Structure formats: structure tokens, C-alpha cells
Amino acid sequence: MKFIGIIPARYASTRFPAKPLAILGGKTVIERVYRQVEGILDHVVVATDDERILKAVEAFGGEAVMTSVNHKSGTDRVHEAFTKVGMGYDVVVNIQGDEPFIHAQQLESIRQCFADNTIDIATLVKPFTPNDGFEALENVNSPKVVVNNKMEALYFSRSIIPFTRGKEKAEWLKGHTYYKHIGLYAYRANVLKEITSLPQSSLEIAESLEQLRWLENGYKIKVGISEIETIGIDTPEDLQRAEEFLQKNN
């Protein structure tokens, strides 16, 4: 199978405008993401809605394609880009444009999910550890996932799932493995086309989690496990933390 990585990158982020062009360790955030993926998948392209991002990507030697400013989700943007540059690729990997520390091992875990021909979509999780603490577990901005014994997603939620009955909350992480969702997705090409034509579902609207639409419509989501901690950049404060992380690990 041939895998194409598409990085959606829009300019007008509510919490951090022009985020893809912010400087991290002397390079733009979008270049950091691109370099992490380059050479791991068969091809990589940035899908953007702004000429400034397009030109910045081309300036460092990357490939970018213009997409509509009206998309409601990164998945919709990825699909438009795929229709323009994805001919001949079997699986599309949607790589968040604000994850400059995405790791080759995580991409390989995504690839391995498609060894199962019945799988439509794949994503990653990272187990919470007792050291993370209950505060991290109850963070509504960190969706949780429950899986079956085939490591297929049963449900995603901003709430803590499952609820541990009969134990103090401080003990929950010691008695059960909870999974934190990592927002990296991959789709078979035909499935990507199908899911972007689906109307929003009731669970998706309730939780504001797009992947619930796919589950409600019967798609199988394979879950790979990653032990690697990444730093997503949603705010200028996140960028500062990422800078500190980069300096420490260099």
C-alpha cells in the first residue's frame, strides 16, 4: 500500500492566528511538522487556505496545495487536497499541523493498523499513567478512548471513560488503563471520501468530536498505542513550552 501524508494548516486559528508560521527553534511550526513526516511516508503535502503558508512551505522546499477557506474540519481540508494530489495512494494520513514533535514510530504504528484489511480508519492513543494524576485524566480538552479486545475504538469522550465504581478517584489510574487520544488519523482513500459526505451526528455534536460521526455510521477505527509524549501547539503559551522542550531535548 502507498501512504500519503497531508498536513492541514489554516491561517486564522481562533486561539493562535498565523500559528503555522510561528517560529520554533529557528524554523516555522509547519516546517517542523513537515520535516518530521518527510521520508517516513511515501509522500507529504501541506493543505492550506492561505497564500502566506503556501509560499512559506515552498520556500523551504516542501509541497503545498491551496484549499477552500470554508472547510469546517481538518478532515474536509485533507479530502479536498487528496482529490488534487492523491491519485494512486491507498491510505491518507491526516497529520495535525500543530504537532511539531510527531515521531516516526507513531507514523509506523498507524501504517501497521492497515495490515488488517477490514480496518477503515486508524488513530493512536497513549496510556495515562498514575504519574499523570487525576487532573490530567479529567481534562476535557484531552479526549479519552475505550477499546475492545481487538484494539478497535468503542467510544471517544471528553468525560472519563470508563467510570470506576467503588474506588476513590485518586486510585482510578492505578486500577485501570485509561487511554488518551492522540489526534493522528489515517483513512483508506475510499473511506475518506465517504466520511466527508456524512452529515454531523448527534454524538459528534454533543461531544464536539468528529470521530464519533464515523463510529455512529459503522466504520471501524483501529487504535495503535504510542508511548511517546507529544506537544500540540494551540496557544502562544504552548509554543513557549514547545521551545523549552526542544531546547531540553536537543
Residue pLDDT, tens place only, 61-110? 999 999 999 998 999 999 999 999 999 999 999 999 988 999 999 999 99
Grid cell, residue 195, equals 466520511
User: Rounded to the nearest 5 degrees, what angle is found at the Cα of 16, between the Cα atoms of 138 and 61?
Assistant: 115
How would you class 68 by CB atoms within 10 Å of its CB: exposed for 0-12, middle for 13-18, buried for 19 or more? exposed
- The structural domain count of the chain equals 1
Q: In this predicted structure, what is the pLDDT of residue 13?
A: 80
DSSP state of 14: S
Q: Is it the case that residue 207 has pLDDT exceeding 80?
A: yes
Distance CA 160, CA 164 (A): 9
The predicted model gives 237-244 an average pLDDT of 92
The predicted model gives 169-177 an average pLDDT of 94
Does residue 244 lie in a domain region?
no
Q: Is it the case that residue 250 has pLDDT exceeding 80?
A: no
* 199, 202, 204, 205: CA torsion to nearest 10: 100
Does residue 247 lie in a domain region?
no
Name, in order, each residue with C-beta under 8 angstroms of 146's C-beta and a sequence gap of 6 or more: 153, 154, 155, 161, 162, 179
Name, in order, each residue with C-beta under 8 angstroms of 192's C-beta and a sequence gap of 6 or more: 75, 78, 79, 82, 92
Does residue 207 lie in a domain region?
yes
For the entire predicted model, the pTM comes to 0.93
CATH number of the domain to which 208 belongs: 3.90.550.10
Does residue 246 lie in a domain region?
no
Does residue 204 lie in a domain region?
yes
Using an 8 Å Cβ cutoff, are 206 and 178 in contact? Answer: no
Does residue 245 lie in a domain region?
no
Q: In this predicted structure, what is the pLDDT of residue 234?
A: 84
The predicted model gives 219-232 an average pLDDT of 90
Mode of pairing for the β-strands spanning 43-48 and 27-28: unpaired
The predicted model gives 22-41 an average pLDDT of 95
Total number of residues shown for the chain: 250
Q: Is it the case that residue 212 has pLDDT exceeding 80?
A: yes
Q: In this predicted structure, what is the pLDDT of residue 163?
A: 96
How would you class 209 by CB atoms within 10 Å of its CB: exposed for 0-12, middle for 13-18, buried for 19 or more? middle
Show the domain range for 196: 3-239
Band (pLDDT 50/70/90 cuts) for residue 14 is: confident
